[in-house]
Structure 1
Amino acid sequence: MMSSLMVAGLAAAAPLIALGSERWPGLAPCALCLWQRWPYWVAAALAVAAALLPARWRVWALRAAGLAVLVSGAIAVLHVGVEQGWWPSPLPACQAPPVAAGASVDDLLRSLNPAPNKPCDEATYLIPGLPLSMAMMNLIYAAGLAAFVFSRAARRV
C-alpha cells in the first residue's frame, strides 16, 4: 500500500513539475507537451486505486499505472522525434494554420489561435547548458518510473 502511494506521488510529480516550469521560469508548452501530462494523472489515479483495492487486485492496478506511464514515454518519443526533425507532428495544433490564396490580413488574424502556442518542433530546455529538452527529460523519467512501478508490481505489493 505504501509503495502504491509512492507511485501515485511520483506519477503526479511529473505534470506538477511541468506546470511549475510554466509558472516560474515561464516556459510555454506545446500541444505534445500537454499530451504527455495526461497519462501521468491516469497513473496517479490508478496507483491510488491500487492502495485502496484488495491485495489480489493491487498488482493489476499498479501494472496498469505502469502502462499509463509508458504511454507518456511513448508520446515523449514522438515529441523528441518531432523536435529533432525525424518526422512531423501528427497533431494539427503543432502545425501552422493553412493560408488561403489571396487571404487578407484580417482573415489571417482570425485564423490564429486565441492564445499563442509554442511550435512542437522547437525544443524547450529547462536547465541552461544541459542538452536535454523537456521532452527528453520526460522520456527518461517515464522509463525510470515505469521500471520502478513494474518492479513494485513484481514484488506483489
Structure 2
Amino acid sequence: MSRIFDDPRIAALLLALASAGVLLSALFFQFVLDYQPCVLCIMQRWPYVAVMVFGLVTWLFRRWKGLGDALLVASGLALLAGAGIAAYHVGVEQHWWAGTSSCGGSAPANSLEALRAQVMAAPVTRCDEVAWSLFGISMAGYNVAISLALAAYAFVAARAAYIRTPVSRTAL
C-alpha cells in the first residue's frame, strides 16, 4: 500500500490514469450524451492533460532521480489550478459573479453588423447554465472535489517519495 505513495512512478501512473478517466468521462458526456461544453469546461480539461504528460515524462525518464518528485509537485499544482477554474465555473453557474466575456455575455452592439458579429462569435453553450447535475452538484462542482483530491494525493506522494529517496538533492 505504501508504494502508491512513495514510488513516484506508481503515483504518476495513478494520477495519469485518474486524469484520463476524468477526460474520458467529459468526452463521454460531450460526444455520447451530447452535453456540449462551454469555454470554462474546456479550460478545466487542460490541467488533466498536463498531469497525463507529467506522468508520461516520469515513466520515460524514471532513472533521473528527483524528476518524479518534482513532476508530482507540478501535477499537484496543475490540479490546484484546475480546481480553481472549476470553482470559478461553479460561481458563474450559481450567478455569484459574472463569467468571462467568452462565456456568452457581451456589451450591446451599436450597429447591425456588430450585432451579427456578436451572434456569430457567441459560444453555443453558456457558462452560467448548468447542463447536468447530480444531487444538486454540477459537473464543475464534482470537478472541484476530484481535482482537490488528486492534488492532495500528488502532494502526499511527492513528499513520501522525497523522504524515501536517499539521494543528495544538491547534486541535481
Question: If the TM-score is normalised by the length of the shorter chain, which range does it land in?
Answer: 0.7 to 0.9
| Structure 1 residue 52 displacement after superposition | 2.8
Q: What letter is aligned with 1:93? A: S
- Identity across aligned pairs (percent)? 32
Say if 2:75 is the partner of 1:75: no
Is the Cα contact below 8 Å between 1:73 and 1:142 reproduced in 2? Answer: yes
- The residue number in structure 2 matching 1:133 is 138
CA distance in structure 1 between the aligned counterparts of 2:114 and 2:56, rounded to whole angstroms = 48
- The residue number in structure 2 matching 1:18 is 26
- Pick from 121, 131, 141 the counterpart of residue 124 of structure 1: 131
Residues 93-150 of structure 1: CA deviation (Å, up to 9, x unaligned): 113343334x34x7634432368521111112154xx211010011011011111212
CA distance in structure 1 between the aligned counterparts of 2:44 and 2:19, rounded to whole angstroms = 12
Residues 20-40 of structure 1: CA deviation (Å, up to 9, x unaligned): 101111111111111110111
Larger Rg: 2
Say if 2:68 is the partner of 1:61: no
- The residue number in structure 1 matching 2:107 is 98
CA distance in structure 1 between the aligned counterparts of 2:124 and 2:114, rounded to whole angstroms = 19
Is the Cα contact below 8 Å between 1:97 and 1:112 reproduced in 2? Answer: no
Q: What letter is aligned with 2:115? A: L
TM (normalized to structure 1)?
Answer: 0.85
Matched length: 152
Is the Cα contact below 8 Å between 1:125 and 1:131 reproduced in 2? Answer: no
